Structure 1
Amino acid sequence: MNNNNWLRLKSLRGITRTGKKLHIDVSVYAKELSKSLHTKKRYSAKQRTKIKIKSSHKLQSILWKNGNLELLFDKKLQNNQINYYNKYDAKRKMYQYIFNIHASMLTKSQTLRKKGVSNIKLSQYNPNMLRLVIENSSPIKVRFSKKPTKIIVRIGSNKIIHNSVQYQHRSKTPTRIDRDKIIVIDPGHGGKDPGAIGYRGYKEKNVVLAIGKELRNILKARGYKVYMTRDGDYFVKLRNRTKFANRKNADIFISIHANAVSKHDAKKTYGLETYYLSKSRSSRAKRVAAIENSSDLIDMNYYGKESFLNTLNSHNIIAANKLAIDLQRSTLASLKKRYKYVKDAGVREGPFWVLVGAQMPAVLVETGFITNPREAKRLENRTYQKTLARGLADGVQRYFINCRKSRY
C-alpha cells in the first residue's frame, strides 16, 4: 500500500463487504478494519517524513467560476495526488462523486451549494487528505481537469448558489430531443449458459454483463431511460428478452455478445461486428448465429428454426440496419482513439433468435473475439469496457439524431 493508510482502509472495507456477500470468513480483516477505525495510528519517523511530503500542499482558495468549482493550491499538483471515484449509497439513496486530494486546508470544512445538486461538501478527511463529496438523488455529470496548481470540477447545470448569492449564467444547456427515448440492453447468456469460453477460460456471460452495465450507466447519465434484460448472473430465455423490451415500449434493443472461433483460428481472428435480423443465409452469419442461438433450443423449436425466417418482412429491418451502422462506427472511433489493432469486422445481417419478435429496431453487437488472446484481455479490462460502452452510447445518440434528420 506504500504506507497509504487511506488506501489500506479502503481495501479492508472492500474485502470485508465482499467477503460477507460471498459467505467467506473475513473475520481477521474485519478485526483489523475495526481496530484501524477506532485507534490512532502511530507512524515511524520515516513514515512521518513521507506524510509530511504528501500533505505539504495547501488549499489556498475555493471559488465558483464560469459555473465550475475551482480549488487553488499553493504548489504544483501531481497526478497521483488526486483520486476520483463514484458510487451509489443504497441506504441514503444518493449518488456520490468523491474526490480524495492529498493536501490540507487552511480553512474549516465548507458546505457549498449549487442549484440542482443535493449536497457538496469539502472537508479535511484526515491529516493527509482533503475530501470533496458531491451528492445527488439522481445521476449527474461530474468531470474534472487538473492545471498545475488548480483542480477544476464541472458539475451538472450552470445555475449556482454560493453563500446565499445566486449567479445565473447566460449559456443554456441545449434541450435533448432524445431524452425521452427508452433503451433495452440485453447482455447475452447468463446463469447456466456461460456463452463462449475463451482465452484463459474467460466467460462471455461475465464480459458482456460488465459492458452492459457500463453502457447502462453512461446512457442514464445522458438522460435516457434504460432497462436491462438481466443485471446479474442468471439465465433468461431468448424469446423473453424481446418480450421484455416490448413490454417496456423500448425505442431500440441492443443485445451484447462476444464472438468465438476454434483454437486453430483464435490468434488471427479478431474484430468488432454488429448484426441486425434478416433472412441471411451467408456462411459467416450462420456460423455466428449458430453459436448465439444454441443457448435455448426450446426457443429454436418455438420459432420453427429456418422455416420461421421465411415469414420475416421488412418491418424495422431498415431502421435496425441504420442503428447497427451507427453503433459500429461510433464504437470503432472510440476504441481507435486509445488502442491499436482495432478491427472493423463489419455490419452484417443474420438469423438471430434473440432479435426475433422485437417490435423496435434491434441489433446484436459482437464486441470482439473472446478466443483471441489480445482481444480477450481487453474485453476483461475495465477501462476497455468503459471505452467500448462509451462508443456504443455515442452510436445510440447518433442514431436518434439521424432519425430526426431523415425521419426514418
Structure 2
Amino acid sequence: MFRWLSLLFIVVTLYAQSDSEILKRADGFMKSSSKSNQFRAYNDYKNLYLRAIMAEDDNLKISALKGIVKSGNKLHIDISQYSDELSKIKPKTSYRAPSPKAIKKSKKAKNIKITSSHKLKSVRWKGDDLILKFDNSLNNNQINYFTLYDSKKGRYRYVFDIHASMLTKSQNLRKSDINRIKLAQFDTNTLRLVIENSEKVKVKFKRESTKLVIYIKSASGKKISKTALPLPKSTSPRRADRNKTIVIDAGHGGKDPGAVGYRKYREKVVVFKISQELRKILRSRGYKVYMTRDRDKFVKLSKRTEYANKRKADIFVSIHANAVGHKNADKAHGIECYFLSSSRSARAEKVAAKENSADLSDMNKYGKNTFLNFLNHHKILASNKLAIDLQRGMLGSLNKKYKVRDGGVREGPFWVLVGAQMPAVLVEVGFISHPKEAKRLVDNNYRKTMAIGLANGIERYFAKN
C-alpha cells in the first residue's frame, strides 16, 4: 500500500497550481449555472480533498469537503459519505450539509422522522395522471422535485426524488407523448422518477395521503412512439469522423477464465468472439482498431490501458460478461455499460469486484478508490457520454430481433479503466449465468447483432463529439 501511496504523492506534486488557486477556480465554477462548470468544481474539490489527505491539512480538507457537499448536492450526487466526514471533523460547529430544495413544508410536516417503512405498492395511469401509491401516508418533506435541461442534446428532464423504497424492480413507464419515463431505486432510501423529453413537459403534482399524483403532458401535445428515447438506426451516422483509433479490450484471458456460467460457458471466450466481430465491423467502416489481446492469453489489467495509451487511442472499450451465483441465475439478466468512478453503490461494487479480481495489486480499497478518483476525474463526463451511446446502440440493434433488459448506464471502480488517457468504458454484454442469455451469448448471430449495436454506438459518439 505504501508503494502506491508514494506513487500517488509523486503524481499529486506534479500539479503546478497551488491549493489556493484550485480552490479559487472551483469556487468560481460553482457560481456558474452551467452543469459542466459545476461538475468541474466538484472534481476540483475532490482533487483538493486528496491533497489535504496527503498533506494532513485539516483546514484544506474542511474547505474541500464543504465544496464537495455543496457541488454534489447541486448535481444530485450522493455525497453522504463526505457530509458525514465533515460533521465528524467539525463536531462543535453548526454546519449542516445543504440539501436540494424540496417543496414547501407544511406546519404539520415539522419534526417528522422519515423511515424506510415507506414503500411503493403500485403504479398506474389514470388519463394523464401517474399515480404512485405507498403503504404509508407521505409527508411534504419526503418529496424533492427538480428539473434539468441539456442544451447540447436539447433534452428536458423532470426528476422526482421520493424518500421511499420499491417493492418491484425498476421499470420504464410508457406514455404516447413522452420520450421516456423511468422509475428506479436511486439509492437505499430514495426512489427516483425521471421524465425525459425532447420538448417541454407540463408537470404538476399533489400529495393525497398515501398517493403521489403526477400530471404529465407534453406541452405541444404531439404524439410520439411509445418506446423509450429514439434509438440509433442500424446504419451508422453519416457525418462521423472515421479518422479515429479504437482499442477494444476483450476481458480476462489465458489463466483467467472470467466468469464460468451456464453449461460451463466461459466469459473469456464469449467476450473475445464479440470483440473480434466488433473489430471487423469497425475496420470495415474505416477506423483503426486494435485489441489488447489477439488470442487466449492473460494480460494484466494495468497493461491494457497502457497499450491503449501507446496506440494513442481515441476511445477504450472493455468487453465483459456478467454473472451471479446459481441461486439467482434465473433472475439476473440484461446489458449494462459502466464508466469509471469511485462509486460505492452496492451494484457497482459487486460487478467491479468480479472484474477487478484478476488484479494482483496489494493496494487496498481506500488506496484504489483515491487513485481512481484522482487520475480519471477529467474523463468522467466524456466516458459517461460514450457509455450512454454504447448502451443505446446495443439496445437499438438487439431489440429488433431479441428482447433484452436495459440494465442502464452506471459508474463504478473498475481497475481495468484506470490510467486511460481517453474516454474509457466497460461493457457488460449480458449474464453468462442466465440460461437464456448464456445461450444467446454463444450464438454467432446474436454476437454479430450486438457488435453492430456497439459499432453504431461508437459512431454515434464520434458524430456528436
Relative to the length of structure 1, the TM-score reads 0.54
Partner residue, 1:317? 380
Please name the residue that 1:353 is paired with: 415
Give the Å deviation of 1:300.
5.1
Of the three residues 248, 260, 265, the one matched with 1:202 is 265
Residues 133-155 of structure 1 show CA distances to partners (whole Å, capped at 9, x for unaligned) of xxxxxxxxxxxxxxxxxxxxxxx
Cα offset, 1:296, TM superposition: 1.7
Match of 1:237 among 289, 294, 300: 300
Structure 1 outlier segments of 4+, above 3 Å: 174-177, 299-304
Residue 228 (1) aligns with residue 291 (2): yes
CA radius of gyration, larger in:
1
Equivalent runs, 1:298-317 vs 2, <5 Å = 298=361, 304-312=367-375, 314-317=377-380
| Match in the other structure for 1:367 | 429
* Corresponding letter in the other structure for 2:348: A
* Alignment CA distance shift 1:312-1:283 (3 Å): farther
1:338 corresponds to = 401
**1:243 Cα deviation from its structure 2 partner:** 0.3
Q: 1:262 aligned to 2:325?
A: yes
Q: Percent identity?
A: 67
Cα deviation code 1:151-180 (max 9, x no counterpart): xxxxxxxxxxxxxxxxxxxxxxx9865121
3-state SS of 2:331 partner = coil
2:459 counterpart of 1:397: yes
Aligned partners of 2:386, 2:299: CA distance in 1, in Å? Answer: 24
Q: For residues 130-209 of structure 1, what are the structure 2 equivalents within 5 Å? A: 177-209=240-272
Q: Which residue of 1 aligns with 2:353?
A: 290
Alignment-derived partner of residue 277 in structure 2? 214
Query: Is residue 187–residue 209 contact of structure 1 (8 Å, CA) maintained in 2?
Result: yes
Paired with 2:387 and 2:270, the residues of 1 have a C-alpha distance of 20
SS, match of residue 359 in structure 1: coil
Is 253-262 or 174-183 further displaced after alignment? Answer: 174-183
Q: Distance in 1 between matches of 2:260 and 2:295?
A: 18
Instruction: Provide the C-alpha distance between the structure 1 equivalents of 2:238 and 2:429, rounded to a whole number of angstroms.
Output: 31
List per-residue Cα deviations over 1:198-239 (Å, max 9, x = no partner). Answer: 000000000000000000000000000000000110000000
Match of 1:380 among 442, 447, 454: 442
CA contact (8 A) 2:302 2:418 kept: yes
Task: Say which SS state the counterpart of residue 314 (structure 1) adopts.
Answer: helix
* 1:227 aligned counterpart, secondary structure: strand
Q: 1:227 to 1:369 in 2, by over 3 A?
A: same
Equivalent residue in structure 2 for 1:281, among 329, 344, 353: 344
1:183·1:253 contact (CA, 8 Å) conserved in 2?
yes
CA distance in 2, matches of 1:302, 1:230: 27
Q: Secondary structure at the match of 1:264?
A: helix
Distance 1:315 1:307, change over 3 A: closer
Q: Is the CA contact (8 Å cut-off) linking 2:375 and 2:418 kept in structure 1? A: no
Q: 1-side partners of 2:278 and 2:409: how far apart?
A: 20
Output the amino acid matched with 2:287.
Y
**Equivalent AA in structure 2 for residue 234 of structure 1:** K
Residues 237 and 300 (structure 1 numbering): CA distance in 2 closer, same or farther, change over 3 Å?
A: farther
- Does the 8 Å contact 2:342/2:370 carry over to 1? no
**Cα distance in 2, alignment partners of residues 264 and 184 from structure 1:** 36
> Which blocks of at least 5 consecutive residues in structure 1 are unaligned?
1-173, 404-408
User: Take 2:425 and 2:348, find their aligned partners in 1: how far apart are those partners?
Assistant: 13
Q: Which amino acid aligns with 1:217?
A: K
Distance of 2:362 and 2:301 partners within structure 1: 7
Q: Deviations over 1:351-380 (max 9, x none)?
A: 000000000000000000000000000000
Structure 1 residues 387-396 or 296-305, which shifts more?
296-305
Question: What letter corresponds to residue 277 of structure 1 in structure 2?
Answer: L
Partner Cα distance (1:281, 1:328) in 2:
22
Q: Partner of 1:339: helix, strand, or coil?
A: coil
Matched to 2:418, the amino acid is: V
- CA distance, structure 1, for counterparts of residue 279 and residue 388 of structure 2: 20
* SS in structure 1 of the partner of residue 299 of structure 2: coil
CA contact (8 A) 1:238 1:299 kept: no
- Structure 2 portions without partners, runs of 5+: 1-236
SS at match of 2:361: helix
Greater share of residues in strand: 1
Is the 1:278–1:312 contact (alpha carbons within 8 Å) kept by the matching residues of 2? Answer: no
Displacement, 1:297?
Answer: 1.8
Equivalent residues, number? 229
8 Å Cα contact 1:188/1:256 also seen in 2:
yes
- What do the CA deviations read for 1:173-202 (whole angstroms, capped 9, x no partner)? x98651210000000000000000000000
Letter in 2 for 1:367: V
Mapped to 1, the partners of 2:366 and 2:239 lie a distance apart of 39
Pair 334,175 (structure 1): closer, same or farther in 2 beyond 3 Å: closer
Q: CA deviation at 1:310?
A: 4.4
- Partner of 2:374, secondary structure, is coil
Secondary structure class of the residue paired with 1:254: strand
Shift of 1:279: 1.6
Give runs of aligned pairs for residues 21-32 of structure 1, distance below 5 A.
Answer: none
Change (3 A) 1:390 1:300: farther
Other-structure match for 1:90: none
The alignment's TM-score, normalised by the length of structure 2, stands at 0.48
